[in-house]
Amino acid sequence: MTAHHPRSASLRFGANYVPSAGWFYSWLDFSSDAARRDFADLAGAGLDHVRVFPIWPWIQPNRTLIRERGIENLLALIDAAAEFGLSVAVDLLQGHLSSFDFLPSWVLTWHRRSLFTDPAVREGIAEYVSRLTHAVATRDNVFAVTLGNEVNNLWPDSPTTPEASTRWAAELIDVARAAAPRLLVLHSLYDAAWYDPAHPFHPADAAGLGDLTTVHSWVFNGVSAIDGPLGPATTTHADYLVELAAAAAADPERPVWLQEVGAPRPDIEVGDAAPFTRRMLDTVAQNPALWGVTWWCSHDLDRGLADFPEREYDLGLFTVEHEAKPAAKELAAFIGEQRAGRTVPASRPALVCDVDPGTQPERRAELAPGGAFHAEWVRLRQTGPLAIVTAARAADPGHLAARGIDTLLKPV
Amino acid sequence: MTAHHPRSASLRFGANYVPSAGWFYSWLDFSSDAARRDFADLAGAGLDHVRVFPIWPWIQPNRTLIRERGIENLLALIDAAAEFGLSVAVDLLQGHLSSFDFLPSWVLTWHRRSLFTDPAVREGIAEYVSRLTHAVATRDNVFAVTLGNEVNNLWPDSPTTPEASTRWAAELIDVARAAAPRLLVLHSLYDAAWYDPAHPFHPADAAGLGDLTTVHSWVFNGVSAIDGPLGPATTTHADYLVELAAAAAADPERPVWLQEVGAPRPDIEVGDAAPFTRRMLDTVAQNPALWGVTWWCSHDLDRGLADFPEREYDLGLFTVEHEAKPAAKELAAFIGEQRAGRTVPASRPALVCDVDPGTQPERRAELAPGGAFHAEWVRLRQTGPLAIVTAARAADPGHLAARGIDTLLKPV
């Protein structure tokens, strides 16, 4: 399984690819040339990868119909990325993107069935996962598939239970691995999985299923209300989530991918985007568990498109006219500095956490931003890198050594 | 408004166009050549028109984005029909087709809004209706637009009230008329509008909005359970609905289009399809209000496509291999006979109906198949053409004369 433990001395940097023209609707009028123009922006900023998002119902409009041309367009996008030296992670089941759910008619209204629990729907999704994974694995620059973007946003519209959510993801990960043994296979959840005690997707899924843990750090989840835009809670939240993910994993070597992070307005206004980006990156890059950072997103959203949450329009590294924005310039500068070599402290202290997110999902609220544990971690993090370790694993010297933990601190 | 009263001496015959390859999913991989092959079948059977169904969310994936290529594909389909001498009626808002609802992400889940009552959604739909109507009116062989196929199937998923349903349709009909004054503009509802007293779409909408009344006669609604497949209730149901529609209209000259009729299994098995078709057509063609008959549907459904109700797979006039089925041969023969001229009795009796469907929607159940009024009408219809007239209009000699009613019969 070494191939599945891609911890390395150098961090990966990329962008979640949002087409500058026509958002993801552009799949319906796919143009390799438009993608090339966008990828030129990203390669120019020094990024090494993109995360891309096919739209599920347009590729699988009927449960037993997977459109060849839909797959061909996805492969053409991947090939265009290769021309710019970009490797590609493919999210399969969209599913959820920027507040919109794309769902096929075969799970809607008169055919309403849960994506997570209906056997026929799961069979259809498994076929989709298998076919797409097999197809994208034919391209050397593809390194990962993720089951889908933040699939927990598809609940509550699709009912599920914690057990059903786990089984669903575990089965599909097996399907993807069978289709493409060489790829990383990943699960993706937004952070309610880490913080909401009633949420039917558990930290154990995030930290145990697939080949590495992905986290999505969005400061509008509550941290920016604490001290944003440049306060310590706000700028360390990405590092906090990576640490929580590392603490929840049984495997101390399991990498964590900061698969989404961005500078959303109005939490972080334009003038604060560059310093936020710098502080956030400086902090999280010291985390030995970190595999890479993928910015959300590559390009702004045309304001001619309606109904998006206001924050979604300005999240790009680049404008729709391909101009680099302040976060892009700061990210590019940071990437340049990292080329000289990543500096991770040889060891660091850890704050012992009374809650094990992997085994005590009912206690997740105790880990959420604003709580006592988070506040204490943020306070101590200001003096240097700080791990999180569960009380049980704090007694395991092998675990501590593997994670570079030299001192145990208890919350007051 | 003469152009909007297309009553004529000769009946129109057509088919609801269901592509033989890939059902309506084929819009995502549109091929004019595939459509031509299908249209050759239909023209060969003597049909003069097709009713076609673009898929709304694929043309308008965002509320403010209407895809040019989506419209171009629709125009290409219309042009292909013209090559075979087929005129075209375009249904705009699909919406509902064969149990599947096609809905854009901007009305689903996190953006859940009723199509019928949300102001922003209505604005988006109005723009869609306007743009498509304007575009299709550039083609001489287009004669009508219908707002959408059986839009009342989009309820209850989209909540509505009778008042909202009426306002919604009336507004959109105005939008379409403004976009293309030369076209017939139509509303389409499945027959719960005629029979279900609680249904929030009223007979007055069907019989009052738009330029003619459309009815969809499906024997699985209850009539085939009475005496199907070849019994009088089953074979006269199309005529009954046309008569109800004529009785409900304030305008005695308003035509009625039997916009959908078919021979669904298992209600009508293969061996009964031809005699059912013959008896149904013989009966309804005598109705002076009838504008035309449009079979559902042109082509069978590939059994490789999943999740359709069983009956939907075999409704075609032609198989997916382009073979004419028994109903097609009977329909073609009937069309040939009609070319010699339509024979409508100079006058006929009418059964007086105590319920006015236009003004008493709460009493619709009294008109439904299986009720006393329907049973009496079916019994009397066996001796010859029989109109339906409301008690109020039975006292209006001008109305009776305009509809060719010479005698009034009261139910016992």
CATH number at residue B173: 3.20.20.80
Structure-token match 């001229």, residue found: B341
Could you please report the per-residue DSSP string of B28-67?
GG--HHHHHHHHHHHHHTT--EEEE---HHHH-SBTTB--
CA B309/CA A105 separation, integer angstroms: 14
Q: From the list A61, A62, A307, which residue is nearest B106 (CB)? A: A307
- Check residue A405 and give left, alpha or beta (phi > 0: left; psi -120 to 50: alpha): beta
| Two tokens, residue A221 | 């989840």
Q: What is the mean pLDDT of residues B62-90?
A: 98
Q: What are phi and psi of B222, to 5 degrees?
A: 135, -30
- Distances A138 to A76, A143, B222 between C-alpha atoms, Å: 12, 11, 54
- Express each pLDDT in A62-115 by its tens digit: 999 999 999 999 999 999 999 999 999 999 999 999 999 999 999 999 999 999
- Of the pLDDT bands very low, low, confident and very high (cuts 50, 70, 90), residue B308 is very high
Q: Is the distance from CB of B355 to CB of B363 less than 8 angstroms?
A: yes
Instruction: Tell me which DSSP letter residue B323 carries.
Output: P
Who wins on pLDDT, B2 or B375?
A: B375
Q: What is the pLDDT of residue A158?
A: 98
Q: What ipTM was estimated for this complex?
A: 0.96
How far B4 CA lies from chain A's nearest CA (Å)? 35
- Express each pLDDT in B40-50 by its tens digit: 999 999 999 99
- Chain A residues near residue B28 by CB distance under 8 angstroms: 28, 58, 61, 67, 69-70
Q: Is the peptide bond before B357 cis (omega within 30 degrees of 0)?
A: no
| Structural domain ending residue among the three candidates A320, A339, A358 | A339
- Of the pLDDT bands very low, low, confident and very high (cuts 50, 70, 90), residue B411 is confident
Minimal Cα distance from B120: which residue of A? A307
| Structural domain ending residue among the three candidates A292, A307, A339 | A339
CA A290/CA A403 separation, integer angstroms: 11
Q: Are residues A276 and A324 in the same domain?
A: yes
Q: Are residues A181 and A272 in the same domain?
A: yes
In what helix (H) or strand (E) does residue B134 lie, and over which residues does it extend?
helix B119-136
B25/A307 CB distance under 8 A: no
Structure-token match 């790009």, residue found: A316
The C-alpha angle with vertex A406 and arms to A4 and A232, in degrees rounded to 5, equals 80
B67/A101 CB distance under 8 A: no
How far B403 CA lies from chain A's nearest CA (Å)? 40
| Structural domain ending residue among the three candidates A311, A339, A367 | A339
Q: What is the pLDDT of residue A148?
A: 98
Rg (CA), chain A: 20
Q: What is the pLDDT of residue B341?
A: 82
- Distances A202 to A6, A190, A206, A249, B243 between C-alpha atoms, Å: 24, 11, 7, 12, 60
Q: What is the pLDDT of residue A3?
A: 37
B109 touching A (Cβ < 8 Å): yes
A62 touching B (Cβ < 8 Å): yes
- pLDDT exceeds 80 at position B4: no
B119 touching A (Cβ < 8 Å): no
The residue type at A174? D
Structure-token match 């009263």, residue found: B5
Q: Are residues A308 and A375 in the same domain?
A: no
Instruction: Tell me which DSSP letter residue B153 carries.
Output: G
CA A203/CA A357 separation, integer angstroms: 6
Neighbours of A211 (CB within 10 A): 20
- Chain A residues near residue B105 by CB distance under 8 angstroms: 100-103
CB pairs under 8 A between A and B: 99
- Distances A5 to A211, A254, A290, A352 between C-alpha atoms, Å: 7, 7, 12, 25
Q: Are residues A285 and A365 in the same domain?
A: no
| A2 inside domain | no
- Reduce the DSSP state of residue B214 to 3 states and report it: strand
Structure-token match 């680099």, residue found: A324
Q: Are residues B378 and B310 in the same domain?
A: no
| Two tokens, residue B264 | 């669904």
Q: Are residues B199 and B322 in the same domain?
A: yes
B111/A124 CB distance under 8 A: no
Q: Are residues A397 and A312 in the same domain?
A: no
% pLDDT > 90, chain A: 95
- Reduce the DSSP state of residue B87 to 3 states and report it: strand
Sequence-ordered alpha helix ranges (H) in B222-361: 223-227, 232-235, 237-248, 270-284, 326-339
B-contacting residues in A 78-97 (Cβ below 8 Å)? none
CA A18/CA B40 separation, integer angstroms: 43
Q: What is the pLDDT of residue B2?
A: 34
| A366 inside domain | yes
Q: What is the pLDDT of residue B5?
A: 45
Convert A75-95 to b/e letters by CB count within 10 Å (16 or more is b): bebbebbbebebbbbbbbbbb
% pLDDT > 90, chain B: 95
Number of domains in chain B: 2
| Two tokens, residue B303 | 């059994």
- Could you tell me whether strands A142-146 and A184-186 are parallel, antiparallel, or unpaired per DSSP bridges? parallel
A64/B111 CB distance under 8 A: no
Q: What is the pLDDT of residue B8?
A: 56
Could you please report the per-residue DSSP string of B172-192?
HHHHHHHH-TTSEEE----TH
Q: What is the mean pLDDT of residues B330-338?
A: 97
Q: Are residues A281 and A400 in the same domain?
A: no
Q: Are residues B321 and B355 in the same domain?
A: no
In what helix (H) or strand (E) does residue B353 lie, and over which residues does it extend?
strand B348-353
CA A182/CA A205 separation, integer angstroms: 21
Residues with Cβ within 8 Å of residue A360, at least 6 apart in sequence: none
Q: What is the pLDDT of residue A4?
A: 40
Return the residue in A26, A60, A62 with the most chain B beta carbons within 10 A, the one to mutate for interface testing: A62
| A3 inside domain | no
- pLDDT exceeds 50 at position A387: yes
- Express each pLDDT in B383-398 by its tens digit: 999 999 999 999 999 9
- Express each pLDDT in B205-217 by its tens digit: 999 999 999 999 9
Structure-token match 């698969």, residue found: A259
Q: Are residues A334 and A371 in the same domain?
A: no
The range of the structural domain enclosing residue A382 comes to 348-409
- Of the pLDDT bands very low, low, confident and very high (cuts 50, 70, 90), residue A412 is confident
CA B144/CA B139 separation, integer angstroms: 11
Q: What is the pLDDT of residue A340?
A: 83
Q: Are residues B196 and B314 in the same domain?
A: yes
Strands of the sheet containing B348-353, edge to edge, are B387-390, B348-353, B405-409
A65: β partners? A62
B10 touching A (Cβ < 8 Å): no
Q: Are residues A192 and A230 in the same domain?
A: yes
B25 touching A (Cβ < 8 Å): yes
A63 touching B (Cβ < 8 Å): yes
The residue type at B232? P
Q: Name the pTM for this structure.
A: 0.96
B62/A23 CB distance under 8 A: yes
A283: β partners? none
Residues with Cβ within 8 Å of residue A32, at least 6 apart in sequence: A76, A77, A79, A80
Convert chain A into a string of H (helix), E (strand) and C (coil): CHHHCCCCCCCEEEEECCCCCCHHHHHHHCCHHHHHHHHHHHHHCCCCEEEECCCHHHHCCECCECCHHHHHHHHHHHHHHHHCCCEEEEECCCCEECCEECCCHHHCHHHCCCCCCCHHHHHHHHHHHHHHHHHHCCCCCEEEEECCCCHHHHCCCCCCCHHHHHHHHHHHHHHHHHHCCCCEEECCCCCHHHHCCCCCCCHHHHHHCCCCEEEEECHHHCHHHHHCCCCHHHHCHHHHHHHHHHHHCCCCCCCEEEEEECCCCCCCCHHHHHHHHHHHHHHHCCCCCEEEEEEECCECCCCCCCCCCHHHHHCCCECCCCCECHHHHHHHHHHHHHHCCCCCCCCEEEEEECCCCCCCHHHHHHHCCCCHHHHHHHHHHCCCCCEEEECCHHHCHHHHHHCCEEEEECCC
Structure-token match 């001489």, residue found: B140
How far B385 CA lies from chain A's nearest CA (Å)? 38
- Express each pLDDT in A328-385 by its tens digit: 999 999 999 998 888 889 999 999 999 999 999 999 999 999 999 999 999 999 999 9
